[in-house]
A and B are shown apart, each in its own frame.
Chain A
Amino acid sequence: MDYTNQIREIASKLFAEGKIDVFVGYRMTGFDENQVPALIRDPNEVSKLVFTDKSVFNLTNYLKQDHTRNKRIGMVVKGCDSRALNLLLTESQVKRENLHIVGIPCKGVVDENGNKMQNCIECIFPNPVVFDEMVDGTPTGSEAPPYQVNTDIQNIAAMDLVERRAYFEEVFESCIRCNACRHSCPMCYCAKCCIDQETSTLYHGANTTSSAFHALMTWSLHLAGRCVDCRNCEKACPSHLPLHLLHKWNEQVIYENFQEHLAGVHEGDRGAFYKYSMKDPDDFIM
């Protein structure tokens, strides 16, 4: 998967047509084989842009920044990224008319060791659900596999409440509450966040195992029905915590109980916790 040339061409064209102020894509780090996000404002710098299976980050995170707000933006999105974009549109965080979206028919990205990422292996939306033009001109890609629950999540489902809590507490014990996960998540854009130690009325105070787990759990509930499994958070975590365990667990609970809801697939769909349907289950209410 290498769309470097196409992306450079499209970015040049958009600048030449005066359609954008900034193009958000990927560039090489300059010191190793990995890539970092690139915010290109100067048309002469489009040659810095690259796109390969090392273009891992979900760039829609840059849509929530003040320095890109209300700017006309060109952006590269993969399947999962586009779902995040859909939600950001639904939640009124970006104006559609300010965006020019370049879609990638994604074949999956790789981790530091060059192995295909787990979420990409399981991905059922490799093709963007929202875009202005596809990088290769074709809007269709390969058939997506059906939604599946992987063995990690099946194991969690098999635990009883006490076991599950103990399991999660142990797994997330080494969290240092740096909030990098939250910062890197495109869906976390609040001015005041419930898990901030300094400002939150809920999770202030000491950094204990229990407070870290509770903060992560609350965070994951704010993403329940909204997380698109892009794994920006995991890539950002300095403790290499498997945050997807929380998110995927929530995802499957919601998928099973709330009419097979998956985040960001349809624009306008706010997700299970923010809409009401007569079919919503109520058997957990007394």
Chain B
Amino acid sequence: MARVGVFVCFCGANIADFVDVPAVVEEAKRIREVKFAIDYKYMCSDPGQQQIRDAIVQHRLTSIVVAACSPRMHEKTFRKALSDAGMNPYLLEVANIREHSSWVHQKDKKAATAKAADLVRMAVAKSIANEQLHEISVPVTKRALVIGGGIAGIQAALDIADARIPVVLVEKSPSIGGKMAQLDETFPTLDCSQCILTPKMVDVASHPYIELIPYAEVLELDGFVGNYKAKIKKKASYVNFKTCTGCGACWQKCPVKVPNEYNMGIDKRKAIYTPFPQAVPNKPVIDARYCTMLTKGKCGICSKVCEKGSIDYKMQDEIIEREIGAVVVATGYDLWDPKPYEEYGVGRFKDIITSLEFERMVSANGPTNGVPVRPSDGKVPKNVVFIKCIGSRDEAKGIEYCSKICCMYTTKHTILLHHKVHGSHSYVFYMDIRAAGKGYEEFVKKAQVDTGATYLRGRVSKIYKKGDKLMVRGEDAQIGQVVEVEADLVVLATAVVPNKDNPDLARLLGVSYDKYGYMSEAHPKLRPVETAKAGIFLAGCTQAPKDIPDTVAQASACAAKVCGIFAGDTMKKDPMISTVNKEFCSGCQNCVTVCPYGAIVTEEVPMGHGSKEMRTVAKINEGVCQGCGSCVAVCRSMAISLAGFTDPQIINEIVSI
């Protein structure tokens, strides 16, 4: 016979003000199986828990109901109290009489009390059918996979590797570094981007715990936290990295010139190339789209000039596998294409450029040796108009959100222009100046004073050509008038948009992404670096637009999470997961299609006892199952049972009221 103990919490005034707690206790006492019921001011406090522990022993209780706040808050606390008293922790049920009653029915104490009593009755009935459950332990492979080698991936990889955990860093392009490698000086301190980034890149290359796989992509990820298996495609580079010294003879002699992505297409690179001089690894790859030896079988110069014989035109893509315990996704961002801004003449007027193009031009290692020039005639511009929020905060043409970094880098750009071009002047069209961050507002204020830039609050409505100048017409909301500025160059602060690989990558990893295409975190406030899938974490702009300080902080947070997973040789896992009763399973595989975690596979079992004929049934991988219950809902055959939410438990709940 079940002997249930009921513990009703006042939660100070939170519950007691709107629910008659002693009345709920009296109601509970009337239930046949309830052998002990009591209320207390704060059930979660140590004396509160002590009452539970004592009652379990004194009254030989077989299950416990705590009527208090949401199980999300204190279920763990109370489970622990049960185990401390020698009771299986899963014999606990929490009746949430705070969020589900007192907080939502503040106007009607009587009804709130009746509802609280019902919730208690249901929890008691359910707890009677609760079974003893035991944490599952799964072995862990202590190796992390970091996808993307921008500053986010670099930082995460270094932090994890420093904890002596092997890291596999997969970067899509020939070099790590990401967008930060394209920046000149960085806000808010104006330190040189390359100078702070390249030492970290070199650390990655030389770290004994990091395996850097450049020019590669993740194809598949199977398994579950602690036990993933990744399939990685190493794209053919046509260069043997083992023998290549990076001397550069090949790319100096290569006759094929193509637009240079690193410099935003402002200058040219060769078909065999390293993206930039400080690239890591500093080995060239052949761009198979352009190399005439690969497309037409003509040329072969690089092979002739390479003293090491490192060129191999027959190289094939290679697929490798790695066992992985946790994953950090750090695939960064893209920039919005401003083409829809037709009224600005985007695409028609050469002297309208994007911020990243401007950034490349003012960079010392950029295509114009650190001086901005007009693409139309190569002259150095004096009057430069910067327009912010291009695509950002623009539901009609672009996206709703604020890209967060543009206010700051535009301010930076006015400073860089001021430094690099004597007698220049910046005009900034803006909607707001968003400078929330340590030292940011000060940075903006100082820049405005130092550069004397003209800030015009308002939208630009039109840009047209007058002679070799661009006329920028916009509204100055502060004086309420239309203004026209004569510009030599116009710089558009284009919105940060998600990496277009994200949806495919998310599907492959089994994580979710938001309506824009950013990877979704498990909780916007309390679990900002986790995804909903255990063991997969997010760093940098793959999750949302952010600047370098925030990116690095998030990357280090990921590393801490990864190290946490790898702290023991096995991992403990909640036992509230689903299992298939093979006898009842009809093999329809609805559950396989519906499981959001890919936890269900099929297996062949004999048709009947001793039968040679086989039939297919579902099988749930206990390491992967998160206990969401979707499969239970779609299984018509009632072959799946979710521990902690079994049919008898749920039916008991329903029947009790």
Task: Report Cα–Cα, A273/B589, bound state, in Å.
Answer: 13
Contacts A66-B607, A201-B647 given; indicate if A93 touches B637 (C-beta within 8 A): no
- Write the B626-650 contact mask toward A (1 if CB under 8 angstroms, else 0): 0000000010111100000001100
Q: Give the residue name and chain of the A residue nearest to B616 (CB).
A: A92
Residue of B586, B589, B594, B648 touching A190 (CB-CB under 8 A): B586
- Write the B604-641 contact mask toward A (1 if CB under 8 angstroms, else 0): 00010000010110000000000000000010111100
What class of interface size applies to chain B in its complex with A?
20 to 34
Say what secondary structure dominates the interface of chain B: loop
Residue of B593, B594, B634, B637 touching A191 (CB-CB under 8 A): B637
A194 at the interface (CB under 8 A from B): yes
CB distance from A97 to the nearest CB of B (A): 15
Contacts A201-B651, A270-B593, A274-B594 given; indicate if A191 touches B636 (C-beta within 8 A): no
| Extra inter-chain contacts (11) besides given A189-B586, A190-B584, A193-B637, CB under 8 Å | A91-B589, A92-B588, A92-B589, A93-B587, A190-B638, A191-B584, A191-B586, A192-B584, A192-B639, A270-B590, A273-B634
Contacts A192-B584, A274-B594 given; indicate if A201 touches B589 (C-beta within 8 A): no
Interface residues in A170-211 (C-beta closer than 8 Å to B): 189-194, 200-202
Task: Report Cα–Cα, A274/B590, bound state, in Å.
Answer: 6
A279 at the interface (CB under 8 A from B): no
Residues of B within 8 A of A (CB): 583-590, 593-594, 607, 613, 615-616, 634, 636-639, 647-648, 651
Task: Report Cα–Cα, A205/B283, bound state, in Å.
Answer: 76
Q: Would A192 and B638 count as touching, CB distance under 8 A?
A: yes
Q: Would A91 and B637 count as touching, CB distance under 8 A?
A: no
Taking CB atoms, residues of chain A closer than 8 Å to B586 are 93, 189-191
Q: Give the residue name and chain of the A residue nearest to B648 (CB).
A: A201
Taking CB atoms, residues of chain B closer than 8 Å to A202 are 647, 651
What class of interface size applies to chain A in its complex with B?
20 to 34
Q: Give the residue name and chain of the A residue nearest to B589 (CB).
A: A92
Task: Report Cα–Cα, A5/B584, bound state, in Å.
Answer: 42
Taking CB atoms, residues of chain A closer than 8 Å to B647 are 201-202
Taking CB atoms, residues of chain A closer than 8 Å to B593 are 270, 274-275
Taking CB atoms, residues of chain B closer than 8 Å to A275 are 593-594
5 tightest CB-CB pairs across the interface, nearest first?
A: A190-B637, A91-B588, A192-B584, A201-B647, A274-B590
Q: Would A222 and B636 count as touching, CB distance under 8 A?
A: yes
Task: Report Cα–Cα, A70/B594, bound state, in Å.
Answer: 27
Q: Would A192 and B637 count as touching, CB distance under 8 A?
A: yes
Q: Give the residue name and chain of the A residue nearest to B639 (CB).
A: A192
Q: Would B634 and A274 count as touching, CB distance under 8 A?
A: yes
Taking CB atoms, residues of chain A closer than 8 Å to B639 are 191-192
Task: Report Cα–Cα, A275/B595, bound state, in Å.
Answer: 10
Q: Would B638 and A201 count as touching, CB distance under 8 A?
A: yes
Q: Would B636 and A190 count as touching, CB distance under 8 A?
A: yes
Task: Report Cα–Cα, A201/B638, bound state, in Å.
Answer: 10
- Write the A70-105 contact mask toward B (1 if CB under 8 angstroms, else 0): 100000000000000000000111000000000000
Taking CB atoms, residues of chain A closer than 8 Å to B616 are 92
Taking CB atoms, residues of chain B closer than 8 Å to A274 are 590, 593-594, 634
Taking CB atoms, residues of chain B closer than 8 Å to A192 are 583-584, 637-639
> Can you list 11 residue pairs at the A/B interface with Cβ under 8 Å?
A66-B607, A69-B607, A91-B589, A92-B589, A93-B587, A190-B584, A192-B584, A192-B637, A202-B651, A274-B593, A274-B634
Taking CB atoms, residues of chain B closer than 8 Å to A276 are 594
Interface residues in A232-281 (C-beta closer than 8 Å to B): 270, 273-276
Taking CB atoms, residues of chain A closer than 8 Å to B638 are 190, 192, 194, 200-201
CB distance from A65 to the nearest CB of B (A): 12
Taking CB atoms, residues of chain B closer than 8 Å to A191 are 583-586, 637, 639
Task: Report Cα–Cα, A69/B586, bound state, in Å.
Answer: 13
Q: Give the residue name and chain of the A residue nearest to B602 (CB).
A: A92
Residue of B584, B588, B607, B648 touching A93 (CB-CB under 8 A): B588
CB distance from A250 to the nearest CB of B (A): 14
Task: Report Cα–Cα, A270/B589, bound state, in Å.
Answer: 10
Contacts A91-B589, A93-B586, A93-B588 given; indicate if A194 touches B607 (C-beta within 8 A): no
Task: Report Cα–Cα, A193/B586, bound state, in Å.
Answer: 11
Task: Report Cα–Cα, A193/B585, bound state, in Å.
Answer: 11
CB distance from B246 to the nearest CB of A (A): 47
Task: Report Cα–Cα, A202/B613, bound state, in Å.
Answer: 32
Taking CB atoms, residues of chain B closer than 8 Å to A222 are 636
Q: Give the residue name and chain of the A residue nearest to B515 (CB).
A: A278
CB distance from B226 to the nearest CB of A (A): 27
Taking CB atoms, residues of chain A closer than 8 Å to B651 are 201-202
Taking CB atoms, residues of chain B closer than 8 Å to A189 are 586
Taking CB atoms, residues of chain A closer than 8 Å to B583 are 191-192
CB distance from B526 to the nearest CB of A (A): 23
Q: Give the residue name and chain of the A residue nearest to B591 (CB).
A: A274
Q: Which of A93, A191, A275 has the most CB of B within 10 A?
A: A191
Taking CB atoms, residues of chain A closer than 8 Å to B584 are 190-192
Interface residues in A135-168 (C-beta closer than 8 Å to B): none
Task: Report Cα–Cα, A274/B616, bound state, in Å.
Answer: 19
Task: Report Cα–Cα, A192/B636, bound state, in Å.
Answer: 9
Interface residues in A112-128 (C-beta closer than 8 Å to B): none
CB distance from A78 to the nearest CB of B (A): 24
CB distance from B617 to the nearest CB of A (A): 10
Task: Report Cα–Cα, A73/B584, bound state, in Å.
Answer: 25
Residue of A70, A92, A93, A194 touching B613 (CB-CB under 8 A): A70
Taking CB atoms, residues of chain A closer than 8 Å to B615 are 69
Q: Which of A92, A201, A270, A273 has the most CB of B within 10 A?
A: A92
Q: Give the residue name and chain of the A residue nearest to B596 (CB).
A: A276
Taking CB atoms, residues of chain A closer than 8 Å to B636 are 190, 194, 222
Task: Report Cα–Cα, A276/B594, bound state, in Å.
Answer: 8
Taking CB atoms, residues of chain B closer than 8 Å to A190 are 584, 586, 636-638
CB distance from B318 to the nearest CB of A (A): 33
Taking CB atoms, residues of chain A closer than 8 Å to B587 are 92-93
Q: Give the residue name and chain of the B residue nearest to A274 (CB).
A: B590
Q: Would A91 and B613 count as touching, CB distance under 8 A?
A: no
Q: Give the residue name and chain of the B residue nearest to A189 (CB).
A: B586
Taking CB atoms, residues of chain B closer than 8 Å to A66 are 607
Interface residues in A47-80 (C-beta closer than 8 Å to B): 66, 69-70
Task: Report Cα–Cα, A70/B588, bound state, in Å.
Answer: 16
Task: Report Cα–Cα, A192/B586, bound state, in Å.
Answer: 9
Taking CB atoms, residues of chain B closer than 8 Å to A273 are 634
Task: Report Cα–Cα, A52/B456, bound state, in Å.
Answer: 84
Q: Give the residue name and chain of the B residue nearest to A201 (CB).
A: B647
Task: Report Cα–Cα, A69/B634, bound state, in Å.
Answer: 24
Task: Report Cα–Cα, A273/B590, bound state, in Å.
Answer: 9
CB distance from B128 to the nearest CB of A (A): 15
Taking CB atoms, residues of chain A closer than 8 Å to B634 are 273-274
